[in-house]
Structure formats: structure tokens, C-alpha cells
Amino acid sequence: MGPLQAVRLALATLLVINSAVSADECQPETWRLRALRPGDINCRLSTVTEPKVDSKTCAFLANKYHTTVDTFLDLNPGLDRDCDSIEPDTRYCVEGCKLKLLLVYEPLRASNGLCGPDNGNATCVGTDKQCCNKITWKCGDTTYV
């Protein structure tokens, strides 16, 4: 067996062993997006704490991101109010809000055929005539005359 064949055999062996081992290793986690519900935190910005933290870290992060300690603690309900439970190298929410209730906005339908700003911003969508004429403010087949 020549040196080139030995290298090819070694690479082929590594390929077989590597593919057999990789099936047993940790597989990536797939996260499913879930709709927010009342009471959920809608986090818009987060940050990771430094390797060294203490009870003053909450105040430091609140100040750094121009918020209050109370707001920071509200955005991170897993933290104690005295901030002793904050963890190093951990992601925390620094900007967002707690959803109080979800409103479903249903637009005003132009059931009488009148639409637009002169008629309470009623929409023609969902009626037999889908377009709001911008001159007459009546539902029709086009936005023009």
C-alpha cells in the first residue's frame, strides 16, 4: 500500500467514524414560536451579565439601559426583589413590557357602502365591493371614478 492510498484509507475511516459518532451527540433544539398571552413579558432588548455579579448588578443594568430597578425586576420575574438571585453570564431583559391584555382590532366595515375618513374610516374590505373610491367615499370596484 502506497502513501497516497494510506492517506485515503485513513480519511475514509475518519469519515465513517465521525458520522457514526455524530448521531449520538447532542442534537440541536428546535424552538417553536408561541403567541404572547396576557401576563407574558414582551422583551424587546436583553443583555448578558458579566462573569462577576452581586446585588448591585440590577441597579447597574437598570441605569445602563435607562430604566428603573422596579421595571428591570418586573421584566425579569425570576429575580428576587433584593437582586441576590442574579446569575453571572445569564441573559436578562432590559427593555420591554408585560402584556396586560390583548385587543383584537376589528375595523369598521362599510356595511352601508360608505367608506373612508368621511365615514368613520370604514373599510370596504370584506364587502361585495372591495375598493373605497377616494372621491365619492363609496365602496366600488376601483379606487378611482
Q: Residue 48: is its pLDDT beyond 90?
A: yes
Whose cell is 447597574? That residue is 60
Q: pLDDT of 78-118, one tens digit each?
A: 999 999 999 999 999 999 887 776 555 667 888 899 999 99
Q: Burial, 7: exposed, middle or buried (Cβ in 10 Å; 0-12, 13-18, 19+)?
A: exposed
Q: Residue 38: is its pLDDT beyond 80?
A: no
pLDDT value, residue 56: 96
Report the chain's mean pLDDT, rounded to a whole number. Answer: 81
Report the helix count and the strand count for the chain, using DSSP H and E: 3, 4
Q: Residue 64: is its pLDDT beyond 90?
A: yes
Q: Which helix (H) or strand (E) holds 57?
A: helix 57-64
pLDDT band for 39, please (50, 70, 90 cuts): confident
pLDDT value, residue 20: 47
Contact present, 86 and 58 (Cβ < 8 Å): yes
Is 0.85 surpassed by the pTM of this model?
no
Q: Which helix (H) or strand (E) holds 98?
A: strand 91-98
**In which region does residue 120 sit, left (phi positive, over 0), alpha (psi from -120 to 50) or beta (all else)?**
left
Dist CA 96 CA 74 (whole Å): 10
Q: Residue 2: is its pLDDT beyond 80?
A: no
